[in-house]
Structure 1
Amino acid sequence: MPSPQQARAQASAITSGKTAPEVEAAPTSQLRELFDGPRLSPGQRRIAQYLIEHITEAAFLSITELADRVGVSQPSVTRFAGAVGFSGYPALRERLQSIALKALAGGPGEPDRANELQAAVDAELANLENLRRDFADPDRVIHIGRELSRSTPLTVLGLRIAESLAEYFGYAARRIHPDVRLVTRGGSVAYDALLQSREAGGSWVLAFAMPRHSHETLQAVRVAHRVGLKVALITDLALGPLADEADVTFATGTGSRLVFDSYAAPNVMAAALLQAMTDADPERTQARLEKYEQVSDQHQFFVRD
Structure 2
Amino acid sequence: MADHNDLLNRIEKNYMKLSKGQKRIADFILQNYDKVAFMTASTLGDSTGVSESTVVRFANALGYDGYPKLQKGLQESIKTKLTTVQRFELSKELEKESSYTKKVMNADMDNIRRTLDGIDEGVMEQIVEDIHNARRVYILGMRSSSVLANYLGFYLNFILKDVVVVNAGALDVFDHLINITKDDLLITISFPRYAKRTFEIVDFANAQGATIVGITDSPMAPLVSMVKHVLFARYNMNTFIDSLVAPMSLINALIQSVSIKEMDRVEENFEKLENIWNEYKIYNPK
Please give the TM-score of this superposition, normalised by the length of structure 2.
Answer: 0.64
Partner deviation per Cα, 1:165-223 (whole Å, 9 max, x = no partner): 1110101110111110010229x82323223132xx74210111122111100111111
- The corresponding residue for 1:181 is 164
- The corresponding residue for 2:113 is 129
CA distance in 1, matches of 2:276, 2:12: 59
Q: Tell me whether 1:146 sits opposite 2:129 in the alignment.
A: yes
Cα pair 2:124 2:254 within 8 Å, conserved:
yes
- The corresponding residue for 1:44 is none
User: 156, 162, 174: which is aligned to 1:191?
Assistant: 174
State the Cα distance separating 1:252 from its structure 2 match. Answer: 0.9
**1:175 counterpart SS class:** helix
CA distance in 2, matches of 1:125, 1:158: 23
**1:143 counterpart SS class:** helix
Please give the TM-score of this superposition, normalised by the length of structure 1.
Answer: 0.60
Q: Tell me whether 1:270 sits opposite 2:254 in the alignment.
A: no
Partner deviation per Cα, 1:115-157 (whole Å, 9 max, x = no partner): 333211121111011122234x523212212211321211011
Q: Judging changes above 3 Å, is the alpha-carbon distance between structure 1 residues 156 and 202 closer, same or farther for their aligned structure 2 residues? A: farther
Q: Which structure has the larger Rg over C-alpha atoms? A: 2
Cα pair 2:180 2:208 within 8 Å, conserved:
no
Q: Judging changes above 3 Å, is the alpha-carbon distance between structure 1 residues 261 and 69 closer, same or farther for their aligned structure 2 residues? A: farther
Give the unaligned 5+ runs of structure 2.
Answer: 14-63, 70-96
**2:138 counterpart SS class:** strand
- The corresponding residue for 1:291 is 272
CA distance in 2, matches of 1:301, 1:234: 33
Q: Tell me whether 1:161 sits opposite 2:114 in the alignment.
A: no
Is the deviation greater in 271-280 or in 166-175? 271-280
Identity of aligned residues (%): 20
Larger RCO, structure (CA 8 Å, separation 6 or more) = 1
Q: Give runs of aligned pairs for residues 1-305 of structure 1, distance below 5 A.
A: 48=1, 50=3, 66=7, 68=9, 114-135=98-119, 138-185=121-168, 189-198=172-181, 202-305=183-286
CA distance in 2, matches of 1:257, 1:236: 14
CA distance in 1, matches of 2:11, 2:185: 36
CA distance in 1, matches of 2:272, 2:98: 48
Over the residues paired in the alignment, what is the CA RMSD in angstroms? 3.0
Cα pair 1:119 1:257 within 8 Å, conserved:
no
Paired residue total: 206
- The corresponding residue for 1:16 is none
CA distance in 2, matches of 1:258, 1:250: 24
4+ residue runs over 3 A deviation: 48-51, 64-67, 69-72
Partner deviation per Cα, 1:217-254 (whole Å, 9 max, x = no partner): 01111111011111111112221322111211211112
Cα pair 1:141 1:272 within 8 Å, conserved:
no
